[in-house]
């Protein structure tokens, strides 16, 4: 049996609406929103009685999805949003963009902050990390032709 695909990456947030707006500004499309609850959901996560609002965001090419989750019951228990890039178990989401400078300008209007600086890797990419909504670590990559 072979792996078919990666379905999505999930991120737990407090401000679901603001985070949706940020990722829409980046270029993702809102695929749908729902509240997930019930005995079956708690069996999947091991959290028991849970209630979580989710929003599924899709990349323009239709291949990648970002699941944004806001836990109502039980509440979120840990906060890794201020962890540095090299923290164990911490991850970032990297997006390919057409124009890194234009993307940064748009996202800064929504509160994004540059982590280090925009750098060029050989003749291949311009790269940077930003802190997005709620301090989420997001990578941007512009392929150079």
Q: What is the pLDDT of residue 126?
A: 97
State the pLDDT confidence band at 24, using cuts at 50, 70 and 90: very high
CATH superfamily of 93-143: 2,3-Dihydroxybiphenyl 1,2-Dioxygenase, domain 1 (3.10.180.10)
> Which pTM was predicted?
0.90
- Judged against a pLDDT cut of 90, whether residue 20 lies above it is answered with yes
Average pLDDT over residues 14-30: 97
Give residue 68's Cα distance to chain centre.
7
**Pick from 2, 13, 137: nearest CA to 75:** 13
Q: What is the pLDDT of residue 56?
A: 97
Q: What is the pLDDT of residues 90-125, one digit of tens each?
A: 778 999 999 999 999 999 999 999 999 999 999 999
Average pLDDT over residues 10-28: 96
- Judged against a pLDDT cut of 80, whether residue 31 lies above it is answered with yes
Number of other residues whose CB lies within 10 A of the CB of residue 129: 18
- Judged against a pLDDT cut of 90, whether residue 32 lies above it is answered with yes
For 9-73, CATH number? 3.10.180.10
The vertex-19 CA angle with 89 and 108, nearest 5°, equals 95
Q: What is the pLDDT of residues 50-91, one digit of tens each?
A: 999 999 999 999 999 999 999 999 988 888 877 877 888 777
Topology match between the domains 9-73 and 93-143: yes
- Tokens read off for 50: 């849970």
For the stretch 59-89, what's the b/e string if a residue is b when 16 or more beta carbons lie within 10 angstroms of its beta carbon? beeeebbbebbbbeeeeeeeeebeeeeeeee
Contact between 114 and 128 (Cβ < 8 Å): yes
**Pick from 106, 112, 105: nearest CA to 131:** 112
Query: Residue ranges of the domains in the chain?
Result: 9-73, 93-143
| Residue with the two structure tokens 């311009």 | 126
């Amino acid at each position: 049996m072979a792996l078919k695909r990666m379905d999505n990456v999930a991120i737990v947030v407090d401000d679901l609406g603001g985070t949706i707006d940020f990722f829409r500004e980046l270029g993702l499309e809102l695929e749908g929103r729902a509240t997930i609850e019930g005995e079956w959901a708690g069996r999947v996560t091991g959290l028991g009685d849970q209630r979580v609002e989710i929003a599924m965001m899709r990349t323009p090419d239709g291949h990648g999805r970002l699941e944004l989750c806001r836990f109502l019951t039980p509440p979120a228990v840990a906060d890794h949003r201020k962890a540095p890039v090299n923290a164990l178990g911490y991850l970032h989401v990297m997006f390919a963009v057409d124009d890194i400078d234009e993307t940064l300008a748009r996202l800064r209007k929504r509160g994004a902050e540059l982590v280090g600086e925009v750098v060029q890797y050989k003749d291949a990419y311009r790269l940077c990390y930003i802190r997005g909504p709620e301090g989420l670590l997001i990578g941007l990559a512009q392929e150079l032709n």
